[in-house]
Structure 1
Amino acid sequence: MQTVLVAIDGSPLGDRALAYALDLYPDAAITVLHVVDPVEAVYLAEAKGPSEGRSYVEAAREHGAELCDRAEAVAADRGIAVDTAVETGNPAREILRFIDANDVDAVVMGSHGRSGLSRVFLGSVAETVLRRSPVPVTVVR
């Protein structure tokens, strides 16, 4: 593998996906990507209260940058340098767009393991990426 994309969302499964990629592809060029879903950002922000003069999406992008900084630190502790990116949009679409735009060879991401009605109503980013990706996708659970 030459270029590996690790999609993170701030969950423990996203952290496991990063650790898996760092273990499996220590010599690859790894990019850690966090996608801010603007719809989710609004719902989360409404639950948390005012965002101190920033838009909901700006606050969510700052949080995404913090997640990427944390991922960089985890990789650095293993002696591995990673690139990071924060994008805004539908997570599955943005991951797929990033794959195409950056000549990614493989993707590693976590899955929340939803099934049944919750998957039908909420959708599954991992499932969509897995089905539509032009490159191999490893889903960590």
Structure 2
Amino acid sequence: MPDTVLIAFDGSPLSERALTYAIETFSEAALTTIYVINPIDSVIDVEAGGLPVAEDWYDNAQDRATRIHTTATELAAEHDIALTTATVVGRPAPAILEYAADQGVDQIVMGSHGRTGIDRTLLGSVAETVTRRARIPVTIISGLS
């Protein structure tokens, strides 16, 4: 069993499933959720919202991260599990992998929407990239029924 588990958590129902899985499966491990602020997302927001959004993008992203961490912490508390949270800035897959390596994580748990075909090609897959490049076990919780 791993001593440390990193759970990619963005507040989506699929990431909640991944966190619940980690809590139930690795209850003896030290659990950490990671939320990645992706600057590319902010560019899209800025293009849609103009200058006011551009000035506040990082503060808004940090506020979102705080709300997401609160959700994760509350979910873990329902299971009497203490949870560490982390926020990093960068492209999601490399940021998750770098954090895991820097912190000596033993296992990664994350969700995947299970996109196939052209959707996967166009959109990419954070879960697929993490799985291919990780030097530690990765558990993928699928969004497919």
User: Does TM-score exceed 0.5, indicating one fold?
Assistant: yes
Does the CA-based 8 Å contact 1:108-1:140 persist in structure 2?
yes
> In the TM superposition, what is the alpha-carbon distance from 1:52 to its structure 2 partner?
9.4
> In the TM superposition, what is the alpha-carbon distance from 1:58 to its structure 2 partner?
2.6
Q: Which amino acid aligns with 2:111?
A: G
Q: How many residues align?
A: 140
Q: How does 1:1-141 map to 2 (within 5 A)?
A: 1-44=2-45, 46-47=47-48, 50-51=52-53, 54=56, 56-141=57-142
> In the TM superposition, what is the alpha-carbon distance from 1:47 to its structure 2 partner?
4.2
**Distance (Å, rounded) in 1 between the aligned partners of 2:125 and 2:46:** 22
**Distance (Å, rounded) in 2 between the aligned partners of 1:95 and 1:52:** 25
Does the CA-based 8 Å contact 1:13-1:110 persist in structure 2?
yes
Does the CA-based 8 Å contact 2:11-2:72 persist in structure 1?
no
Q: CA RMSD in A?
A: 1.7
Identity of aligned residues (%): 44
Cα–Cα, structure 1 residues 121 and 76, in superposed 2: closer, same or farther, change >3 Å? Answer: same
Q: Structure 1 stretches of 5 or more lacking a match?
A: none
Cα–Cα, structure 1 residues 42 and 10, in superposed 2: closer, same or farther, change >3 Å? Answer: farther
Does 41-50 or 110-119 show the bigger shift? 41-50
Q: Which amino acid aligns with 2:25?
A: L
> In the TM superposition, what is the alpha-carbon distance from 1:61 to its structure 2 partner?
2.3
> In the TM superposition, what is the alpha-carbon distance from 1:8 to its structure 2 partner?
1.1
**Distance (Å, rounded) in 1 between the aligned partners of 2:7 and 2:46:** 25
Q: Which amino acid aligns with 2:33?
A: V
